[in-house]
């Protein structure tokens, strides 16, 4: 996406440290008028939105990645710095810099505001300082003298409450005044190239002048932290939270999934009946509708999972989880810093691997990159959901849902495997020293429904775009490979056996038969290399084309595999997907981040070996227990 805005809207850049409420302010100002993409050449998220001030002026607002300093230590910080300076390729210099600070955490955020002010002076752009979360500061008895701050900083300073309906009104007013008389900040008291010590001294001076803080932390934070950061109770709480999430994914999604399933079947029948027999009919019904319907059905589960992850993120709990897991992760050769990249890998390994750029120690970074593909990315969820729904009975075990328990076990197996692999890597390396974790623990806050809804919409949209993009394209190609060439004259077997994909699938069974995979699964593994969830749409297409009649072709995938696969095969495939390295994009990202084909080969080799070995053991044990 071109960064330049189409009309003459004034460009604002929203900058601030993580957890300052910047994104909530962005949502407050722009509502749903947002475009989410990536910065050119990197996978740092770029969010732009527009809004009209009461004056009628239109603003284009860019939500820059959170940064603690402009002396960049991570890719996010480098992007923020370069966009503000106008150095980022394709991004014009913003007209006004809006720096957001958390009124309850000025000790940390004012230092960054001073850096931004210096940068605004250098690039000759005006700056507005938004002191956010003023309501929270008031509740904690923190008094911020905005007049003194404004006089000392030489830039307009306004209070904001991003979660309140009119909480950004003063900011919009200040922006209107600023753009009428744009004036870059004057030279400050500190040196033009602010060294760390000078910045700290200036921050302390400003705090002494303008801020009255009865206590450093909120009482409620201290009380909650005593429980949630407790070495035993904290870990127990984390386990309970994660466990409940996976229970909810199954318990709440079923009614909507049934609706989508019924809609897919109806659409297939309607389109099949409306079009005359022929290749286009088959492409639409057996290929596109069966294939994409088989993937879209899992949207409700993905939305529920992300609702919980977003809520935890907004509440300030996630950095605490990183802190809690630091000791455990250090024991396995990782660090607490690996937590956020690994957590991101639950959405997709690619942003997770990119997020390791914030890990400064190359040893920890490499270990995190190598185990990130073991985290259960959202693309695996449709596969898990299909197999669990088909083979694990929807019954209760005590107060728990058995299907939710299995899903939890699959996620736990991925995490446990990552820890074991990292531990083995730690044993092999020469440098065994540990590195201390430094982390900001933000105040607890209740997630705002608006921010959650916007976040969920973004995630759902990303999923739907994949369905309409790469998954659709691969489904069409797979349908072609499954349909051509047709059966020769006098052929006795089903036509699909003579197709390109049929022949490939049959050839691959020589490798995968020992782990219980039939030729249909073997075919599905190939397009699954581009996107794992395509394995589901591929299975749906294979079985739809293989069906003897039209009624059978429009049947849902779940009952078909329940009838034709053994439980041992299903369990083997579930275990395969915990480890399977079949994601070309992930491997390409490992190459880009490590700059080494050797690391790509190691990652591919160990993941394939683990997948095959674990699936083999699972299949054989299941057969021995009579699950064949």
Partner 1 sequence: MADAGLVAQQAVVAVAVMAACVYVVRRQFPQALRRGRMRLVLVLLRPHRAAWLQRLGRRLAPKVAAGPAAAACGQSGSCGGCSPG
Output the smallest distance, CB 225 to partner 1, in A: 33
Compare residues 277 and 563 and give the one whose CB is closer to partner 1: 277
Integer Cα distance of 159 and 564 in angstroms:
64
Compare residues 207 and 464 and give the one whose CB is closer to partner 1: 464
Integer Cα distance of 476 and 497 in angstroms:
18
562 near partner 1 (CB under 8 A): no
Contact 2, 90 (CB under 8 A): yes
**Alpha helices by DSSP H, 275-298:** 279-282, 290-296
Determine what percent of the chain falls in helix, strand and coil, rounding each to the nearest 5: 65, 10, 30
Compare residues 32 and 38 and give the one whose CB is closer to partner 1: 38
122 near partner 1 (CB under 8 A): yes
Interface characters, 317-336, with partner 1 (x: CB under 8 A): --------------------
Integer Cα distance of 247 and 406 in angstroms:
10
Nearest to 237 by CA among 245, 227, 223, 246: 227
In this structure, the strands spanning 10-16 and 58-63 are parallel
119 near partner 1 (CB under 8 A): yes
Output the smallest distance, CB 278 to partner 1, in A: 4
Spell out the residues 6+ positions from residue 463 whose beta carbon is closer than 8 angstroms to its own.
299, 302, 378
Compare residues 119 and 309 and give the one whose CB is closer to partner 1: 119
Q: Which stretch binds partner 1 (CB under 8 A): 83-91, 237-245, 263-271, 497-505?
A: 83-91
70 near partner 1 (CB under 8 A): yes
Element (H, E) at 106: helix 106-123
550 near partner 1 (CB under 8 A): no
Nearest to 380 by CA among 41, 594, 607, 44: 607
66 torsion bin: left (phi>0), alpha (psi -120 to 50), beta (else): beta
Half-sphere exposure (Cβ direction) of 38: Cα atoms closer than 13 Å: 10
Q: Which of residues 162-221 bind partner 1 (CB under 8 A)?
A: 192-193
Size of the site for partner 1 (CB under 8 A): 39
271 near partner 1 (CB under 8 A): no
Helix (H, G, I), strand (E, B) or coil at 61: strand
34 near partner 1 (CB under 8 A): no
Compare residues 472 and 578 and give the one whose CB is closer to partner 1: 472
**Alpha helices by DSSP H, 316-380:** 318-331, 339-344, 349-355, 362-371
Integer Cα distance of 24 and 19 in angstroms:
10
Q: What is the DSSP-derived secondary structure letter of residue 71? A: S
Compare residues 77 and 170 and give the one whose CB is closer to partner 1: 77
Identify the residue among 214, 278, 393, 490 touching partner 1 (CB under 8 A).
Answer: 278
Compare residues 69 and 254 and give the one whose CB is closer to partner 1: 69
Identify the residue among 54, 56, 89, 393 touching partner 1 (CB under 8 A).
Answer: 89
Query: For residue 272, what are the β-bridge partners?
Result: none
583 near partner 1 (CB under 8 A): no
Compare residues 213 and 470 and give the one whose CB is closer to partner 1: 470
10 near partner 1 (CB under 8 A): no
Q: Which of residues 475-494 bind partner 1 (CB under 8 A)?
A: 476-477, 480
415 near partner 1 (CB under 8 A): no
Integer Cα distance of 521 and 507 in angstroms:
12
72 near partner 1 (CB under 8 A): yes
362 near partner 1 (CB under 8 A): no
312 near partner 1 (CB under 8 A): no
Compare residues 20 and 75 and give the one whose CB is closer to partner 1: 75
Spell out the residues 6+ positions from residue 319 whose beta carbon is closer than 8 angstroms to its own.
439, 440, 441, 442
Element (H, E) at 130: strand 127-132
Phi, psi angles (nearest 5°) of residue 61:
-110, 125
88 near partner 1 (CB under 8 A): yes
Q: Which of residues 458-477 bind partner 1 (CB under 8 A)?
A: 469-470, 472-474, 476-477
Compare residues 320 and 357 and give the one whose CB is closer to partner 1: 357
Compare residues 65 and 389 and give the one whose CB is closer to partner 1: 65
Identify the residue among 198, 420, 508, 530 touching partner 1 (CB under 8 A).
Answer: 530
Residues lying near partner 1 in the complex (CB under 8 A) are found at 41-42, 70-73, 75, 77-79, 81-82, 85, 87-90, 118-119, 122, 192-193, 276, 278-281, 283, 469-470, 472-474, 476-477, 480, 530, 584-585
């Amino acid at each position: 996406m071109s960064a330049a805005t189409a009309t003459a809207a004034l460009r604002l850049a929203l900058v601030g440290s993580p957890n300052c409420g910047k994104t909530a302010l962005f949502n407050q100002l722009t509502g749903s008028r947002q475009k989410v993409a990536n910065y050119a050449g990197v996978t740092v998220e770029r969010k732009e939105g527009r809004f009209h001030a009461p004056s009628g002026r239109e603003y284009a607002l860019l939500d820059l990645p959170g940064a603690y300093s402009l002396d960049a230590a991570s890719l996010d910080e480098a992007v923020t710095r370069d966009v503000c300076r106008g150095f980022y390729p394709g991004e014009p210099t913003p007209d006004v810099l809006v720096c957001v600070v958390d009124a309850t955490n000025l000790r940390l955020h004012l230092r960054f505001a001073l850096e931004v002010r210096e940068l605004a002076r250098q690039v000759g752009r005006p700056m507005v300082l938004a002191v956010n979360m003023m309501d929270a500061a008031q509740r904690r008895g923190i008094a911020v003298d905005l007049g003194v701050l404004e006089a000392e900083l030489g830039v307009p300073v306004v209070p904001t409450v991003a979660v309140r309906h009119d909480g950004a009104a003063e900011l919009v007013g200040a922006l209107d005044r600023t753009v009428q008389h744009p004036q870059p900040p004057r030279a400050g008291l500190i040196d033009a190239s602010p060294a760390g010590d000078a910045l700290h001294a200036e921050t302390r001076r400003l705090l002494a002048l303008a801020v009255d803080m009865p206590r450093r932390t909120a009482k409620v934070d201290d009380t909650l932290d005593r429980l949630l950061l407790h070495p035993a109770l904290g870990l127990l709480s984390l386990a309970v939270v994660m466990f409940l999430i996976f229970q909810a994914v199954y318990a709440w999604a079923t009614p909507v999934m049934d609706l989508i399933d019924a809609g897919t079947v109806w659409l297939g029948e309607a389109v099949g009946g409306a079009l005359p027999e022929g290749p286009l009919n088959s492409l639409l019904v057996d290929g596109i509708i069966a294939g994409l319907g088989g993937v879209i059905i899992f949207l409700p589960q993905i939305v529920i999972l992300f609702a919980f992850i977003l809520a935890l993120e907004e509440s300030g709990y996630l950095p605490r989880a990183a802190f809690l897991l630091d000791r455990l992760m250090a024991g396995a050769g990782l660090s607490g810093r690996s937590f956020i990249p690994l957590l991101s890998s639950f959405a997709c390994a690619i942003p997770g691997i990119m997020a390791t750029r914030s890990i400064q120690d190359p040893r920890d970074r490499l270990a995190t990159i190598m185990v990130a593909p073991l985290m259960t990315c959202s693309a695996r969820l449709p596969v898990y959901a299909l197999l669990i729904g088909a083979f694990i009975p929807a019954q209760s075990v005590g107060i728990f849902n058995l299907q939710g328990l299995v899903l939890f076990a699959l996620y736990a197996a991925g995490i446990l495997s990552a820890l074991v692999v990292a531990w083995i890597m730690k044993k092999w390396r020469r440098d065994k020293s540990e590195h201390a974790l430094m982390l900001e623990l933000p105040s607890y806050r209740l997630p705002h429904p608006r921010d959650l809804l916007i976040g969920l919409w973004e995630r759902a949209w990303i999923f739907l775009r994949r369905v309409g993009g790469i998954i659709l394209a691969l489904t069409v190609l797979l349908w072609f490979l499954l349909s051509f060439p047709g059966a020769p004259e006098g052929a006795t077997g089903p036509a699909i056996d003579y197709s390109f994909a049929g022949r490939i699938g049959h050839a691959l069974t020589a490798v995968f038969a020992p782990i219980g995979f039939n030729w249909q699964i073997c075919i599905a593994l190939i397009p699954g290399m581009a996107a794992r969830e395509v394995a589901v749409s591929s299975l749906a297409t294979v079985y739809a084309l293989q069906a003897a009649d039209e009624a059978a072709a429009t049947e849902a995938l779940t009952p078909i595999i329940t009838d034709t696969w053994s439980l041992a095969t299903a369990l083997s495939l579930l275990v395969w997907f915990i480890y399977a390295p079949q994601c070309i994009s992930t491997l390409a990202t490992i190459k880009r981040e490590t700059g080494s084909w050797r690391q790509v080969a190691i990652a591919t080799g160990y993941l394939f070996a683990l997948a095959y070995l674990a699936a083999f053991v699972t299949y054989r044990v299941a057969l021995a227990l009579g699950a064949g």
